[in-house]
Chains A and B, each alone.
Chain A
Amino acid sequence: RKEVEQDPGPFNVPEGATVAFNCTYSNSASQSFFWYRQDCRKEPKLLMSVYSSGNEDGRFTAQLNRASQYISLLIRDSKLSDSATYLCVVGSSYKLIFGSGTRLLVRP
């Protein structure tokens, strides 16, 4: 079983749609949680950290459920520029473990 699992997608949605990504992780001792965005052939860029209380940054909302070892990302009012691969990332001790990513395609 992978340490961090994500649905690879792709999610193909129209502009303005709301889309949700889910992620599960296997190590209950994990301490930090992030969503990163990766554009094709580019390095990952931090989208947001994820906290147990849930957090929001503009159109993006992230949730963490430690009991279920589940992380989510909600994108509202999708823009064409949101098209990318979204990586669920879990930190344990000093290491980051990356999910394989969920690809999002936003169409006009």
Chain B
Amino acid sequence: GAVVSQHPSWVICKSGTSVKIECRSLDFQATTMFWYRQFPKQSLMLMATSNEGSKATYEQGVEKDKFLINHASLTLSTLTVTSAHPEDSSFYICSARVRDQRGYTFGSGTRLTVV
């Protein structure tokens, strides 16, 4: 089945530093990748949608200069959290829609802790 590989699975970083999260579609081409954030005991919130070769579309309230998304190829999308703050600590998950299927496949998530 379609697999999205997400790395790293967890990361601890200092305030003010930047963290890059990668999502790769392993056996299919993901023209669109969705990036979500999930705080404890809350639902997944869509942050942005990245399309291969074009600028990402950000949801209302999500700072595009803080959460940099790059989707340079059909198999790789990256999210960079710049100048991280403790309030950015969260579970970040990517997802892609698999062609000819009604469902979406998710990466395994990245647990970010900013200290």
Chain B interface, number of residues (Cβ within 8 angstroms) = 23
Asked if A42 lies at the interface with its beta carbon under 8 angstroms from chain B, I say: yes
Q: How large is the interface on A (under 10, 10 to 19, 20 to 34, 35 or more residues)?
A: 10 to 19
Majority secondary structure, B binding face = strand
**B49 surroundings in chain A (CB, below 8 A):** 94-95
Within 8 A of A (CB), among B67-115: 91, 93, 95, 97, 102-109, 111
**B109 surroundings in chain A (CB, below 8 A):** 41-43
Which of A13-21, A63-71, A75-83, A96-104 makes up part of the contact surface?
Answer: A96-104
Q: Which residues of B contact A (CB under 8 A)?
A: 32, 34, 36, 41-46, 49, 91, 93, 95, 97, 102-109, 111
Q: Which residues of A contact B (CB under 8 A)?
A: 4, 32, 34, 41-46, 49, 87, 94-101
